[in-house]
């Protein structure tokens, strides 16, 4: 089989997500499996590490036996074999670097959010369209085993008519004083692009859109529950961004979704994110990996009586959905799809317009909070 090397300028690999999920568990994992089989032969990804910190780049390259790295994006984009630019930097840096890549004629794949403002996201989408380059945005949660099982149930008609979706996401992020915070401090500063609404509503848009239908309206309330935190250097700072967001979304067909997102909540559920879907014929609870169901015919008939102990073990009455297949890393699966999109022209729906829809929902969520009202979500087009 003919082997085709494809250079990928990877910007932001010194960060947590860029390094772990995209470089190590996706691009390097594809190389470890012997490359990616496509209709046009075997694709061999050649990463060029790009970033601002020379020492960190050198350390990562040495650790994985890579020889190509640079602190100059211009140099990376000028490499003759580079066909794809990948951006996992903080959101505020996307616009300038992605624009540079588009102008250089490179296909672009980026972490979400694509931008902080909808007009910027749409500008990037239109620029890419006009330049004739292919685009992609990470929408990883669709590739989680739990949500793939949920997709299987939806496709099989298990739910009948879907009525509602309830989502719980989050965990306690330590303030950074007596225990180290699990998330970087910029997440809690609006001026640095932080905030759980901007971060998570982009996720919820594509989850809801792809599984249940387009979001028609949003009503949201955001909060900064922890007003002061301690940064990586041990310095106290004011948390100016929201660390919790509570949203109600109306979807196509009258489906109502309620999703709570919080970095100030302690977990009392099986996984860090769970979605309960209720339908006329059955219900399901899906998390990162597990998915459990209860059919209409097996639904118990509880009676409200606070004067006696509950006789029912509700959790025991749900059945586990089997894997029935092996689930690869979700980020890697989407990377493979994007590479096939670039090489073969394979179908692809996770483009910059999809990214813009996520930014739009986050923007409207913040506006809904500020104006204390429900807002319609206009349909986007380029």
Residue 106 lies in a domain: yes
Q: What is the pLDDT along the chain (382 residues), one digit of tens a residue?
A: 788 999 999 999 999 999 999 999 999 999 999 999 999 899 999 999 999 999 999 999 999 999 999 999 999 999 999 999 999 999 999 999 999 999 999 999 999 999 999 999 999 999 999 999 999 999 999 999 999 999 999 999 999 999 999 999 999 999 999 999 999 999 999 999 999 999 999 999 999 999 999 999 999 999 999 999 999 999 999 999 999 999 999 999 999 999 999 999 999 999 999 999 999 999 999 999 999 999 999 999 998 999 999 889 999 999 999 999 999 999 999 999 999 999 999 999 999 999 999 999 999 999 999 999 999 999 999 8
The answer to whether 6 and 42 are in contact (CB under 8 A) is no
Task: Determine if residue 133 is left, alpha or beta; phi over 0 gives left, psi from -120 to 50 gives alpha, anything else beta.
Answer: beta
Same domain flag for 45 and 174: no
What count of Cα atoms within 13 Å lies in the side-chain half-sphere of residue 72?
A: 5
* Interatomic CA distance for residues 364 and 376, integer angstroms: 9
Phi, then psi, of 288 in degrees rounded to 5: -60, -45
For residue 46, what is the domain's CATH number? 3.40.50.720
Structural domain including 241 reads: 141-325+360-375
Same domain flag for 90 and 190: no
Residue 371 lies in a domain: yes
DSSP track, 228-273: EEE-TTS-EEE--S-SEEEEEEEEGGG-EEEEEEESB----SSSSE
Tell me what pLDDT residue 3 has. Answer: 86
- The residues, ordered by sequence, that sit 6+ positions from 54 with a Cβ below 8 Å of its Cβ are 71
Q: Provide the number of structural domains found in the chain.
A: 2
Same domain flag for 81 and 191: no
Same domain flag for 286 and 300: yes
Tell me what pLDDT residue 2 has. Answer: 81
Residue 380 lies in a domain: no
Same domain flag for 296 and 183: yes
Question: What secondary structure letter does DSSP report for 170?
Answer: E
Phi, then psi, of 224 in degrees rounded to 5: -110, 90
Tell me what pLDDT residue 92 has. Answer: 92
Residue 135 lies in a domain: yes
The tokens for 236 are 């106290």
The answer to whether 319 and 149 are in contact (CB under 8 A) is no
Strands 135-137 and 107-110: parallel
Cross-strand partners of 4: 43
């Amino acid at each position: 089989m003919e082997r085709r090397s494809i250079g990928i300028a990877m910007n932001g690999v010194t960060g947590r997500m860029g390094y772990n999920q995209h470089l190590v568990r996706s691009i390097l994992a594809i190389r470890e499996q012997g490359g990616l089989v496509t209709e046009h032969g075997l694709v061999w990804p050649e990463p060029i590490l790009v970033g601002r910190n020379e020492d960190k780049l050198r350390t990562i390259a040495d650790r994985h036996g890579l020889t190509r790295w640079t602190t100059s994006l211009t140099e990376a984009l000028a490499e003759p074999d580079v066909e794809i630019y990948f951006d996992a930097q903080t959101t505020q840096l996307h616009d300038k670097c992605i624009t540079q890549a588009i102008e250089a004629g490179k296909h672009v794949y980026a972490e979400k959010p694509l931008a902080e403002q909808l007009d910027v996201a749409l500008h990037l989408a239109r620029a890419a369209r006009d330049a004739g380059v292919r685009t992609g945005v990470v929408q990883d949660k669709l590739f989680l085993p739990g949500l793939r099982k949920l997709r299987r149930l939806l496709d099989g008609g298990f739910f009948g008519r879907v009525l509602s979706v309830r989502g719980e996401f989050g965990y306690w992020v330590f303030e950074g004083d007596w225990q180290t915070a699990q998330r970087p401090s910029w997440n809690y500063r609006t001026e640095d692009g932080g905030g759980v609404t901007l971060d998570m509503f982009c996720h919820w848009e594509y989850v809801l859109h792809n599984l249940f239908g387009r979001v028609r309206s949003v009503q949201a309330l955001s909060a900064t529950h922890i007003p002061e935190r301690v940064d990586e250097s041990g310095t106290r700072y004011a948390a100016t961004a929201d660390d919790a967001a509570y949203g109600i979304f109306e979807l196509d067909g009258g489906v109502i979704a309620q999703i709570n997102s919080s970095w100030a909540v302690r977990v009392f559920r099986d996984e860090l994110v769970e979605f309960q879907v209720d339908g006329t014929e059955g219900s399901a609870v899906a998390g990162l990996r597990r998915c459990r169901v209860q059919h209409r015919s097996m639904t118990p008939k509880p009676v409200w009586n606070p004067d006696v102990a509950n006789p029912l073990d509700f959790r025991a009455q749900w059945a586990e959905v089997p894997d029935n297949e092996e689930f690869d890393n979700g980020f890697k699966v989407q990377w493979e799809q994007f590479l096939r999109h670039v090489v073969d022209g394979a179908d692809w729906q996770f483009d910059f317009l999809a990214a813009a829809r996520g930014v739009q929902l986050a923007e409207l969520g913040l506006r809904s909070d500020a104006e204390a009202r429900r807002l319609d979500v206009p349909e986007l087009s380029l």
